[in-house]
Amino acid sequence: MIGRSMDESEHVSDLIGGIYDAALDRSLWPSVLEETCRFLNGQAAALVGKTASDFEFFFEWGTDPTFLESYRSTYGMINPLHVPVMIYGKVGEVRTTSELVPYDEFVASRFFKEWATPQGIIDAITVLFVKSATHYSGLSVHRHARDGFFDDESRRRFSLIAPHFRRAVAIGEVINFHKLEAAALADSIDGLAAAMFLVDSGARLVHVNAAGHAMLDQGDAIRAVAGKFIAVDAQADTMLRDIFVTAEHGDRAVSTRGIDVPLSARGGECHVAHVLPLTSGARRQAGVAYSAVAAVFVHKTELDVPHPLETIARVFRLTSAEMRVLMMIVQLGGVRQVAPVLGISEPTVKTHLQHVFEKTSTSRQADLVKLVAGYMSPLAQARQ
């Protein structure tokens, strides 16, 4: 047991180091996903996201290009896991297939029969990093039938690394996934739109980029006092100082709490800080060169409104099954087309559809299309 624990501890530390290295160099993500699959005994993994500015990212390992293309063109739209993830998935919460849809319906679905089965996939484990009306990101890992279903041990292992993925992805989005040279980090980040600060374990400012200097000059959320990084919000300042101290001891020592540290500003604006440790991996050279233990990225937060599907389900009190039928009706057409896609009978689809009509006070499929289209607008979301 001791040997196994030590092997796992070393594996986790190496994997976390790779995750944070990939925050600065996105070309590393496929190899990180490969190691993630080895750690979870998975067959394939994908890291996906979309931001408010229509910036999308997709990193993958383990899936044949033919199946990737068919997913993009056809099967992604009918993936029965998508709707429940967007409605019920909570940020940071690990979910497996059977926790999202009844497994018998999943295996009866067209997605499972035509896309998952030919690859031998029987299960998936997922986690969301962000979910809002204008932004989402998450990680999913698939498992082959020969390796069985994801279990409690899989969940435990996934939970060890998921928070670090979340922090790294947030930083990657802040820098718009541009590749930064770790060895010359201070030089390469000066042109970033986001404010960035290199700090030592005592919160002393080692380097600040142009956007960071502008934020310090304003002094609303961040100040420099005696050469140290100070958050105006006392609670946030305490949390950040704790992270700086632990960052000195390596990637794994950095707490999985404080992934997104909210910073309240005097003017009422809200910012968020993300801390990237610089004491391990490819980032270690930058940390040593600048006598820094961490890089702090600070940016304004977006309007926090729920995902459109979550709002539709809440406003009209639709069940998960009713939402799956609603979205397939909107995307595919009639009952006959929807039933085999969802893996349920036509009478069952009709029953769910009738409930949807009653709850939404509509009577035609065209009305449902208009209803969903209206809620898919971020501005419509903001008015809810």
Report pLDDT digits (tens) over 221-260. 999 999 999 999 999 999 999 999 988 887 877 867 667 8
pLDDT tens digits along 68-92:
999 999 999 899 998 898 888 888 9
- The domain 2-174: what is its CATH number? 3.30.450.80
**Mean of pLDDT values over 43-49:** 94
User: What is each CA distance from 370 to 175, 321, 331, 366, in whole angstroms?
Assistant: 36, 20, 12, 6
| Reported pTM | 0.83
In the chain, domain spans: 2-174, 182-300, 308-382
* The domains spanning 2-174 and 182-300 adopt the same CATH topology: yes
Q: How far apart are CA 82 and CA 100, in angstroms?
A: 9
- Joined together, the tokens standing for residue 335 give 């009952």
Instruction: Summarize the confidence of residues 171-187 as an average pLDDT.
Output: 69
Position 148 pLDDT exceeds 90 = yes
pLDDT of res. 112: 96
> Rounded mean pLDDT of 58-62?
95
Architecture of domain 308-382 in CATH? Orthogonal Bundle (1.10)
Neighbours of 243 (CB within 10 A): 25
Which comes out higher in pLDDT, residue 280 or 159?
Answer: 159
Greatest alpha-carbon span in the chain: 72
- Taken as a whole, the chain contains a residue count of 384
**8 A C-beta contact, residue 55 and residue 176:** yes
Query: So what's the architecture of 182-300 in CATH?
Result: 2-Layer Sandwich (3.30)
Task: Give CA–CA dist 342/112, Å, rounded.
Answer: 10
pLDDT given at position 250 = 79
Orientation angle between helical segments 320-332 and 365-375, nearest 10 degrees: 100
pLDDT at 381 over 60: no
What is residue 308's predicted lDDT score, i.e. its pLDDT?
84
The whole-number pLDDT of residue 282 equals 79
**Residue 279: DSSP 8-state:** S
pLDDT at 123 over 50: yes
